[in-house]
Structure 1
Amino acid sequence: MRAAVIAIRAGEFDGREDVDTSLGGCIRSREVRREPRRQIPACLPWKELEARVPIVVVLAGHAGAGASTVAMAVAEAMADGRRTQLVEYTEPARSGLVAAARIELGAEGGWWRRGRRGHLDLFRLARSPADGQPSPPEGDGEARLMVVDAGWPLTTALLETRSAEAFVHDERSVVVTRVSVPAVRQTERVLAAVGDEALVAAVGPARWPRAVEASCGPRLAELRSRHRVVRVPIDRRLEITGLTGDRLPKSVAAAGRSLAALLVPAVAPQPRHRRRAEPSRTGPAEEPE
């Protein structure tokens, strides 16, 4: 019993789990067995953009963590400083962004449905990732930042292939967890794959119950001691309606800005260039030199 308790606190569970999605065709079976550590360098859809586009990956520490809401808050905070895309790699039927756009711009590239929310471009899958390798959304040539909402199914697939550390820069990663005993236990396993510099978005009260603190694994406890855990308050309206075209609650938007500020050393926002005002046509004409 003591060994079982130690294993649970460390996030070590059994070796078989169901996977609800595939990683660009790299995982076909719904049941995945743990195998020796290996890397699958061509599997992640955004891998080809990593050298050219700064990417922030928001991972769910467990099912129902609230990764889409946190990804939205981070992306909107980043969009104040540079052109930003929020890309959701989730089955269309499970999308948390289905009603989040203020303007729907239709299908794009055969894989994506595009929307606009202020300065933020939203992309969500139009068909299942099990149908093939979804190519990343096309850019418009402007320097931009991509925030990836990986969701729980994709995060699970990453963990089962033991490939998360090969594709996710830990200083650009945000792991989302609820403040509960089972949630922090599962989140420890995700942190073990991502790295020591990840940020944690803790959805729940500012003061953690003692039972939750006692259930924290060593990685989460260390991140808390280094002030790399940001509280995201629970908003009752969002819990009922989900993400809509309305503005995020002020408290949630503030949490997104706090996360973005900690991500700035890894992904520095670029100031927007405003168009220069044209000279007045009614004023006196300049004399030729």
Structure 2
Amino acid sequence: MSVLSRSGSPFGDMPLDHVSESALPAVPAVHGPTLRELRSAAMARSTRVGGCPERSDAPARGAAWVPEGLCIRVMAGHAGAGASTIALAVADAAACEGQTVWVLDAAAPVWSGLAGTTAVELGSAGGWHRGRRGGGVVVERVLSAALTPTDVPMPRDHALVNLTVVDVGWTRRELDAYPRCWQASMTPMVDVVVSRATASGLSQTETVVAAADHDGCLLVLIGSRRRGARELSVAGPRIRRLHERDAVVFVPRLRGFAELGPGPLPHTLLSAAARLLALTSHPTRPRPAGGSGPRFRSTP
């Protein structure tokens, strides 16, 4: 005969308040997740959805990147200088000469200056999104959110590339705060610093030029047509030294300068980029004793 009553209780119809605790059946203890475990799970879930994703292929911090072939690193001397526009113009000018160009937009996606500049999207891999612009230019942009330069994944190796253009997308101060990130630790053959032809812009750019003080440093000055620009009279000593070495490219101010898309760039901008490419390809002998050291060959 079953010991259970109609109510299904092993104690019959006896009120439970008359049952001693020792008579109750043992129930295994169940412990829920701790607050720390819940917080860790939430952070992991948020990074998979919209934050910085977990990357099994991400390099260790401080890993160095050595690009193949000629590499030009483009940096802004100050906010709104137009570095992304110059980087794209250099790539397009090189493609017009029959070169295969790889452009790396290393900025965080929300600050990208090259979003929307490709005509054909080629998919994503290794933390980068790739697109094609014209016949000879491939643009890669960072796929996921990046709070610091170290959050940007290491670029993938590419074969059969004549020129690599890196649009840094981070300020000099941010790179100095993370000196072991690949954008700061890479050794490009040429550093291009972009500045507007204003006193405040040149003042800030002087610091960036000082950090990239080597023979492969060039300056792009936007908003001035003339080689002997009067704006340089207020420039610092390092910028004036670049001018003496013919290592400054002057770009006139263009209407709609910041509007970048998949279409062709203005001819005036491409001509200036071609002059810059000529400077990167043809270094000249040092000046005589008493001069300012090695300089780049000037172009018309």
Q: Which string of whole-angstrom CA distances, capped at 9 and with x for unpartnered residues, describes residues 8-60 of structure 1?
A: xxxxxxxxxxxxxxxxxxxxxxxxxxxxxxxxx9637xx4233x343210011
Once residues 84 and 213 of structure 1 are traced to their aligned partners in structure 2, the CA distance between those partners, rounded to angstroms, is: 32
Alignment partner for residue 116 of structure 1, among 120, 128, 132?
132
Give the CA deviation at 1:244: 0.5
Summarize deviations over 1:244-282 as a string: whole Å, max 9, x none: 01100000010110001111147xxxxxxxxxxxxxxxx
Query: 2:118 touches 2:133 (CA, 8 Å); kept in 1?
Result: yes
Which of 200, 207, 222 does residue 203 from structure 1 map onto? 222
1:142 aligns with 2:160: yes
Shift of 1:94: 1.3
Larger radius of gyration: 2
Deviations 1:129-162 (A, max 9, x none): 34835020342x32432100012x2533223456
Higher relative contact order (CA 8 A, sep 6+): 1
Partners of 1:53 and 1:154 in 2: CA distance: 25
Q: What TM-score does the superposition give when structure 1 sets the normalisation length?
A: 0.67
Query: Given residue 156 of structure 2, which amino acid in structure 1 is its aligned partner?
Result: P
3-state SS of 1:58 partner: strand
Q: Separation in 2 of the partners of 1:165 and 1:220? A: 21
Alpha-carbon distance between aligned partners in 1 of 2:184 and 2:129, rounded to the nearest angstrom: 29
Cα distance in 2, alignment partners of residues 95 and 133 from structure 1: 12
Partner of 1:63: 79
Query: Which of 106, 120, 125 is equivalent to 1:103?
Result: 120
The alpha-carbon distance between structure 1 residues 189 and 254, as it changes in their structure 2 partners (threshold 3 A), is same
Cα gap change, 1:230 to 1:114, in 2 (>3 Å): same
- Over 3 Å counting, the alpha-carbon distance change for 1:132 and 1:42 in structure 2 is closer
The offset of 1:234, in angstroms, is 2.0
Does structure 1 residue 258 correspond to structure 2 residue 271? no
Q: How does 1:1-289 map to 2 (within 5 A)?
A: 43=62, 47-50=64-67, 52-79=68-95, 80-109=97-126, 111-118=127-134, 119-130=136-147, 132-139=151-158, 141-151=159-169, 153-160=170-177, 167-169=186-188, 171-197=189-215, 198-207=217-226, 210=230, 212-239=231-258, 242-265=259-282
Runs of 4+, deviation exceeding 6 Å: 162-165
Deviations 1:177-230 (CA, angstroms, capped at 9, x unpaired): 0000110001110111101421100010224774x3332100101111221110
Query: Are the equivalent residues in 2 in contact too, given 1:92–1:124 (CA < 8 A)?
Result: yes
Q: Is the 8 A contact 1:165 1:194 kept in 2?
A: no
SS at match of 2:78: coil
Secondary structure, in 3 states, of the residue corresponding to 1:43? Answer: coil
Q: Structure 1 pair 168/193, CA: closer, same or farther in 2 (3 Å)?
A: farther
* SS in structure 1 at match of 2:256: helix
Cα root mean square deviation, aligned: 2.6
Amino-acid identity (%): 33
Mark the runs of 5 or more structure 2 residues left unpaired by the alignment: 1-59, 284-300
Give the match's secondary structure for 1:247. coil
User: For residues 196 and 138 of structure 1, what CA distance do their matches in structure 2 show?
Assistant: 26
Q: Output the CA distance in 1 between the equivalents of 2:200 and 2:265.
A: 27
Distance 2:113 2:249 in 1: 21
* Structure 2: distance between partners of 1:71 and 1:86: 8
CA distance, structure 1, for counterparts of residue 196 and residue 107 of structure 2: 20
Which letter does structure 1 place at the counterpart of 2:103? L
